[in-house]
Structure 1
């Protein structure tokens, strides 16, 4: 299976002081036998139940809080572990475990509403976090198990994220922020977000949403400092929150890159040690084989 990785630019984020993101990250890595990394995202809780939006495209799915007793965090984590039973390397597992706890709290918040920009943000984050995972097939299976554990549809996440990416590639700085004056599937999604964020429906801002916005800007090559501000204004989103969250995401990726580098160094060292231990054994086997052949030859010539 081909690698599924996001082209979300860490260097772009690092160079953009205007885009700031806060997942209050706290590293916990690396020692000689276990490379791990932790970070925190502050979300909240409560919601479930679906109702279709009549005002916009099929991409928009609303989530309302009609269920009085949402699942507990432990139930969501158990769902994930039951859906994906294979061991996950610690550097990835520690991030996923903390992420699923925080996303559970956000997912069941009363005002939570799924939307494609949020999906794009999560897919971007996931693909960045899991970049370099040993198996592409397992990475996809983990993604599906993760989303299903939250009682959502992993295929919808991927499809909606892809639609927004394709749309954004065809936009520019002007068209991106003038979505409200045009008709189209993605334009309808953005209009719906603007209405809800403006107080005409449920809207729960999240850090995944902030990353989704920045991904749209990146794909549209609309990286001028003022464009993000204008897009936030058009969507009725607080730019200060977006700036803060993008800064934290940048820090998260930077620390994750460091952790992966240290993990690679550890793996390389262990591989070299195994090879060094194997050399004497291989030499002994070669000598034994050679001696055995000479003894066999002697037996034949006698």
Structure 2
């Protein structure tokens, strides 16, 4: 069966620009689905001339789960088989998001949620069942000890806000009042302080989604938005290029899957024709036998 065995956010080759924001720089974002990542939080001691304070973890709850435990939690919650074209990428995504999730500097924010929801929905387009697609999403986020409802609510909130913005109002959030404006101001403040903001590729996709919904097509708009948020524009360009490559690979893989399904359907129909003919002959003979 057509399957994605190594589809990842990897810039495999340099590609031409298809979006005004996307650079052509290549960047390795290779997923690994077979290793176990165990992150233990250790708080350094604070030392002064008068005293030394050693802060210790007081319970096992301070130790984050391993990648294997997160993946197992997902599989325990969603037990139905997932088509390989989707499952391979989901397993790789959950490894990467686990690493992001349990960084000491990680803090949930709605732009990150919007980015993940955007990636997930693009990935799962064409999934056989809408109900199963939602169930997979819930199992995935729950496995990371976060709230799937919050992800969806916040993503929808930012999407609705962005739809009524324009390129100027989008980047001038700092001078306005509002719930989303407050969220963006908080991100900007934290990003401007070392060690208080954990940038990620999902965050970059969230920014792109805001620009997309606001019809902000000028490349300079992304420059201004990154500056207003105190985010490194080069990192965003790099990760949006990777995101574009992922979408391209997904389209190709789904086309291959459709071709495979169509071929198998045709083969089943061809195999069924002789059987139907034999059944028709048998039925016909059976009707004639009593009168012979």
TM > 0.5 between the two? yes
Are the equivalent residues in 2 in contact too, given 1:39–1:95 (CA < 8 A)? no
Are the equivalent residues in 2 in contact too, given 1:23–1:249 (CA < 8 A)? no
1:162 is displaced (CA, Å) by 0.1
User: Who is 2:8 aligned against?
Assistant: none
TM-score, length-scaled by structure 2: 0.82
For the residues of structure 2 that align with 1:279 and 1:241, how far apart are their CA atoms?
Answer: 57
User: Who is 2:22 aligned against?
Assistant: 19
Q: Deviations over 1:136-168 (max 9, x none)?
A: 111110000000000000000000000000000
Q: Deviations over 1:164-200 (max 9, x none)?
A: 0000000001100000101000000000000000107
**Which runs of 5 or more residues in structure 1 are unaligned?**
1-12, 27-37, 49-65
User: Who is 2:147 aligned against?
Assistant: 153
Mapping 1:1-302, distance limit 5 Å: 15-16=18-19, 18-20=21-23, 24=28, 67-199=61-193, 202-296=196-290, 298=291
For the residues of structure 1 that align with 2:188 and 2:91, how far apart are their CA atoms?
Answer: 32
Are the equivalent residues in 2 in contact too, given 1:179–1:187 (CA < 8 A)? yes
1:23 is displaced (CA, Å) by 6.6
TM-score, length-scaled by structure 1: 0.80
1:18 is displaced (CA, Å) by 3.5
For the residues of structure 1 that align with 2:17 and 2:126, how far apart are their CA atoms?
Answer: 20
For the residues of structure 2 that align with 1:14 and 1:291, how far apart are their CA atoms?
Answer: 67
Q: CA RMSD in A?
A: 2.3
1:293 is displaced (CA, Å) by 1.3
Q: Deviations over 1:79-103 (max 9, x none)?
A: 0000000001111110001110111
Worse-matched range after superposition: 261-270 or 230-239 = 261-270
For the residues of structure 2 that align with 1:22 and 1:83, how far apart are their CA atoms?
Answer: 36
User: Who is 1:55 aligned against?
Assistant: none
Are the equivalent residues in 2 in contact too, given 1:80–1:145 (CA < 8 A)? yes
Partner SS, residue 175 of structure 1: helix
For the residues of structure 2 that align with 1:141 and 1:93, how far apart are their CA atoms?
Answer: 14
**Which runs of 5 or more residues in structure 2 are unaligned?**
1-15, 42-58
For the residues of structure 1 that align with 2:205 and 2:39, how far apart are their CA atoms?
Answer: 22
Are the equivalent residues in 2 in contact too, given 1:100–1:146 (CA < 8 A)? yes
1:14 is displaced (CA, Å) by 5.2
